Amino acid sequence: MEFDLTWILLGLPIVFALGWVASRLDLRQLRIENRQAPRAYFKGLNYLLNEQQDQAIDAFIEAVQKDPDTSELHFALGNLFRRRGEYERAVRVHEHLLSRGDISAADRARAQHALALDFLKAGLIDHAETALRKLEGTSYEQQAGLALLALYERTREWDKAGEIAQKLEKLDQADFGARLAHYRCEKALAAWKKQNDPESAQTLLEQAIADAPRSPRPRIELAGLLDAQGQAGRAFDELARLPEHAPQALPLVAAELVRIGQASGRLPQAIDLLEASFERAPSLDVTEALVQARQLTGTDAAQARQGYLRHMRQEPSLIAAGRWLAGQELQPEEARATVQRSLEHAMRPLARYRCAACGFEAQSYFWQCPGCQAWDSFPPRRIEEL
């Protein structure tokens, strides 16, 4: 039987026509899907602008289903999950991105950073630390370092925090000397109070002073340590150096300066230091310390309390007025006590310290804000004096 080429020649145009029709159908479907994907994306963006996160998530999920290879949609969706507190879903999205082999190195680093933020927000400290460590050598290294620094400060791992601070100092030329001094102070306090090792504590504090001579905390902590060991003279010497290196911090230790000055027989020198500080910048703490010091030297109490009036001439102060009134013999006594109670109530909020970074207020001075964890964010002056 001979093979008839006629059928082949007749069939070729038919096959070609069918292929062309199929390709057109596929192209049309592709165009429809491509139109639908951007539409879902922009719908999600519109919901975001209107702060409708639930609807935005639904729209982005729809867009991802239509175009699963678009990494930007995955990033948007993962960030939305994290903002809503759905950390497990955010982790799954970012881990899916990391598992893909077709994303660029920049997107891989971005996904790793996003995953670390997911773990941080979820409170998974160990996972967050591991994820942040993987960002070393990427464009997110500095951001990861700052996050690690905050993490180690929160967990009070001062050695690791110091290591990160030194790396960050080399990266962007920022000065972390004061923060490193705080870390050594924290380690010194732990050695002194918890481990009963004052010698190690003293070594750490002296090293902190050498590394950050203008940081007031190491000198103040060292003075407290020396005083507790019965070395009042050396403790006084450390506090006496504050006006040279950190004069703004002297009000924080004004009362201690008077007490240690009396114990070491150097009360007149303490008064001179406090007078110089008051002349430079009037302070309620310095004023109170001067009143106390003059009474200790034998000055009449009424005359010593004139210091409150001097302060009020320099800076009007409700607190100073209350302190002065507390020592006055006014008649009738019942009226004086009533006025005194009112003044005490009114001046209590004004005697606090306030964080300059977040506004957290406290009766005691903090080197690190309990609210925002910032270091040295409390001005060494009461709210009334700001």
Tens digits of residue pLDDT in 227-248 = 999 999 999 999 999 999 999 9
Q: Residue 20 in 3-state DSSP?
A: helix
What does the pLDDT average to over 342-347? 74
Beta-strand (E) ranges in the chain? 353-354, 361-362
Inter-residue contact 205 to 188 (CB < 8 Å)? yes
- pLDDT at site 381: 87
Binning the chain into helix, strand and coil, the percentages to the nearest 5 are: 75, 0, 25
* Residues 251, 285: Cα–Cα separation, whole Å: 5
pLDDT, tens digit, 9 for 90 and up, residues 178-225: 899 999 999 999 999 888 999 999 999 999 999 899 999 999 999 999
Residue 48 to residue 30: CA distance in whole angstroms: 27
Domains in the chain: boundaries? 27-156, 351-386
Percent of all residues in the chain with a pLDDT value above 70, rounded to a whole number: 78
Percent of the chain with pLDDT over 90: 40
Confidence of residue 103 (pLDDT cuts 50, 70, 90): confident
For residues 84 and 92, is the Cβ–Cβ distance under 8 A?
Answer: no
Helix (H, G, I), strand (E, B) or coil at 353: strand
CATH number of 27-156: 1.25.40.10
Q: Which residue has the higher pLDDT, 73 or 33?
A: 73
Higher pLDDT, 170 or 76: 170
Query: What is residue 49's predicted lDDT score, i.e. its pLDDT?
Result: 47
Beta bridge partners of 362: 353
Angle between helices 125-133 and 105-122 in degrees, nearest 10: 160
Nearest-angstrom CA–CA distance, 300 and 288: 15
Q: Which residue has the tokens 């009449």?
A: 300
Which of the four pLDDT bands, split at 50, 70 and 90, describes residue 306? Answer: confident
Q: What is the pLDDT of residue 25?
A: 46
In angstroms, how far is CA 240 from the centroid of its own chain?
31
Burial of 331 (0-12, 13-18, 19+ CB in 10 A): exposed
Q: Examine the pLDDT at 376 and tell me if it is beyond 80.
A: yes
**pLDDT beyond 70 at 9:** no
pTM over 0.85: no
> Residue range 128-147: average pLDDT?
91
Q: How many residues does the chain have?
A: 386
Q: What local confidence, expressed as pLDDT, does residue 45 receive?
A: 52
274-278 average pLDDT score: 93
Per-residue confidence (pLDDT) for residue 257, from 0 to 100: 95
Specify the range with the lowest mean pLDDT, choosing from 34-38, 170-174, 336-340.
34-38
How confident is the model at residue 254, as a pLDDT?
Answer: 93
In whole angstroms, what is the distance from residue 278 CA to residue 257 CA?
14
Bridge partners for 354 per DSSP = 361
Average pLDDT, the chain: 81
Bridge partners (DSSP) listed for residue 375: 368
